[in-house]
Structures are given as structure tokens and as C-alpha cells.
């Protein structure tokens, strides 16, 4: 989720849920090896547990990047073999790698040899017009056998490599949940997580009756309050649930610290827009936190004031 699950969003999400596993936006090996390494690896210790997701297809480069991520303190390294973007394909990685399970296995094995933290892989049920479950089964079987990887995160849709945008690839190819359930039955020793089209707690709990875990992407971004129930429902932590206002107050010191480092407030408040999703006055909250005039002075107090407004009665129409 490029430009979405950056360190600002992840810190915010951690204030809502103490235990949910967080994952970075995908970082390519080229960006990490030849770009601003400190920026790509930066995270706050409070985010833990957090995984770094890598994109690449060169085993040596992936091993070097995995070692850098582990040294930086990440709890897991994930290889993205699910992104359908044509821009990613031009670099010979992402979902197109599902056609090359031996290469995927070699990449994962190199990463596993370079670190002691878990190395996982995220992929699709298939590519293009491949509808046979056997393709998915054989991909997972070969990758596991050759690399030793034990955690597979499956976006339960095919990736259409040509003709569909990444957004269309999240919506048009039909969901194939039964394929992922069958995968768990065929590989009971592996940890199988499911992703795609899951956006409420009844759906999450239904999925967990069939697989080992659920990854939620855009729903957790647009409606982050869905995470507030995770600690109690999934991790046995019955701590008092925070209020949205509590999360805002806890976020303020982080905002101030990042502003002191030169980060514009607007780069962070965009990740907070969904906090009041579905609540009366949510539009007012979003409008304030995306208003250039309100954010111009880089004063986080505007966030506190917006939260206070959410506790006031909405003005009645004339």
C-alpha cells in the first residue's frame, strides 16, 4: 500500500490496537540499496510488531535488504509477489513472479539465510486467466519445499497482469476464498493468511474458522477504528478500549516531534481522516484535517480542536 501504510499511519494504528501486526508499504530493493536508506527503514519502536515488505527478484539484493531490515529492528521481512502494477512488472517482480516459483523460492531462501527473523511471502491465487486451483497449490508447494518458507499471505484474487489498473485488480477479478481454505487443508503445517474484500468483524471471524490469519488493507486505512476490537477478540487483551479522542491526544506528541524534524503536518493528518468514519460529523473532521489554511501553520493543536468539535452537537439546518 504505497504511500498509505507509512510510519505515520502505522504509529496511529498502533494507538488503536496494541497487538495487530503492522506491515510497511512495499519498498523495492533498488530504493533501499541505492536510495534514502534511513527514510525507507525508519519506524518508531512503538510500532512493533512490524514487518518490512520488500519488492524485488534478485536473490542477492533481497538478501542484502533483508539483512538491513533485520538490523534496523523489523520483526518480519515479507516478499511481495502479489502487486499487479505494470510499473512493478517492468522491474520483473510483483505478481508476475508467480509464474516463476523456483525464482521465488531462491529469493526467499536467500533472505532466510541472511536473517533470523521470519521471512514470509504475499501472493495471489493466480495470474491472468489461470483458474485451476492446482496452479496455486503447486506454487505454494514448490516455494515451501525449496525455500522452507512457512507463512503464505494470499490475496484471494487472480492478478491480471495486462489491461487492469492496480485498483481494478482489487475489484474486478472474483474473490476465491475457497481456494485459500483448500490451501490450508492441503498444507496444514503451513501458516496461511487470507486477504481481499474483508472489512468487518463477522467476516474476519468467519475467515479465521478456515485459515490462520487475516490481513486487512484498505478497510483498516479508511476505517481504522475496526482495529480497536482486535486486542480483545484475537489476542486476549481485555484492556479498556480507548476513545477516539484518547487516540488523538496520544498522537499529538508524535506529531509535534515529527514537525520538529521537518515533516509537514499535512503529510500526517491525511492518515487520520478515517478516524471518525461512520460517525456524525465525520465530514467536518475530514474537512478540517485536509484544509490547507488550517494546516498551514503546522500546529497540531488543530487536530485537538477538530476532535473537540466532534464532541459538540452538529449545527441544525436552518
Rounded Cα distance between 311 and 309, Å, is 5
Is 107 a known active-site residue?
A: no
pLDDT in tens, 112-140: 999 999 999 999 999 999 999 999 999 99
pLDDT in tens, 45-85: 999 999 999 999 999 999 999 999 999 999 999 999 988 76
pTM: 0.93
Q: Are residues 14 and 108 in the same domain?
A: yes
pLDDT reported for residue 9: 97
Between 1 and 140, residue with greater pLDDT = 140
Q: Are residues 128 and 254 in the same domain?
A: no
pLDDT in tens, 254-264: 999 999 999 99
Q: What percent of the chain has pLDDT over 70?
A: 95
Q: Mark residue 85 as left, alpha or beta (left: phi above 0; alpha: psi -120 to 50; beta: remaining).
A: beta
Q: Select which of 65, 83, 96, 149 is catalytic.
A: 83
What is the pairing mode between strands 50-55 and 191-195? unpaired
Q: Are residues 76 and 170 in the same domain?
A: yes
Cβ atoms of 248 and 303 closer than 8 Å: yes
Residue 316 lies in a domain: no
pLDDT reported for residue 303: 97
The residue segments making up the domain with residue 279 are: 244-310
Q: Are residues 206 and 270 in the same domain?
A: no
Alpha-carbon torsion angle 146, 149, 151, 152, nearest 10: -40
Amino acid at each position: 500500500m504505497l504511500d498509505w501504510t507509512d510510519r505515520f499511519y502505522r504509529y496511529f494504528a498502533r494507538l488503536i490496537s496494541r497487538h495487530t501486526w503492522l506491515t510497511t508499504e512495499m519498498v523495492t530493493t533498488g530504493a533501499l540499496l541505492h536510495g534514502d536508506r534511513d527514510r525507507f527503514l525508519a519506524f518508531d519502536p512503538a510500532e512493533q510488531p512490524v514487518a518490512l515488505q520488500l519488492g524485488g527478484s534478485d536473490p542477492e539484493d533481497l538478501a542484502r535488504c533483508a539483512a538491513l531490515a533485520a538490523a534496523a529492528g523489523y520483526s518480519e521481512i515479507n516478499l511481495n509477489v502479489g502487486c499487479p502494477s505494470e510499473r512493478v512488472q517492468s522491474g520483473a517482480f510483483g505478481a508476475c513472479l508467480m509464474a516463476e516459483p523456483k525464482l521465488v523460492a531462491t529469493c526467499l531462501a536467500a533472505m532466510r539465510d541472511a536473517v533470523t527473523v521470519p521471512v514470509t511471502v504475499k501472493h495471489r491465487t493466480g495470474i491472468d486467466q489461470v483458474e485451476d486451483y492446482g496452479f496455486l497449490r503447486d506454487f505454494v508447494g514448490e516455494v515451501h519445499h525449496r525455500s522452507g518458507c512457512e507463512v503464505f499471505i494470499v490475496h484471494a484474487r487472480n492478478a491480471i497482469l495486462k489491461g487492469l489498473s492496480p485498483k481494478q485488480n482489487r475489484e474486478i477479478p472474483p474473490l476465491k476464498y475457497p481456494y485459500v481454505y483448500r490451501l490450508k487443508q492441503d498444507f496444514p503445517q503451513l501458516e496461511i493468511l487470507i486477504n481481499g474484500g474483508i472489512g468487518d468483524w463477522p467476516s474476519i471471524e468467519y475467515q479465521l474458522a478456515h485459515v490462520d490469519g487475516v490481513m486487512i488493507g484498505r478497510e483498516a486505512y479508511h476505517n481504522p477504528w475496526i482495529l480497536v476490537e482486535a486486542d480483545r477478540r484475537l489476542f486476549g487483551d481485555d484492556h479498556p478500549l480507548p476513545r477516539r479522542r484518547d487516540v488523538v491526544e496520544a498522537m499529538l506528541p508524535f506529531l509535534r516531534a515529527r514537525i520538529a524534524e521537518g515533516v509537514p503536518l499535512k503529510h500526517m493528518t491525511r492518515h487520520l481522516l478515517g478516524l471518525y468514519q461512520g460517525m456524525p460529523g465525520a465530514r467536518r473532521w475530514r474537512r478540517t484535517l485536509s484544509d490547507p489554511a488550517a494546516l498551514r501553520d503546522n500546529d497540531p493543536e488543530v487536530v485537538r480542536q477538530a476532535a473537540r468539535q466532534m464532541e459538540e452537537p452538529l449545527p441544525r439546518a436552518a
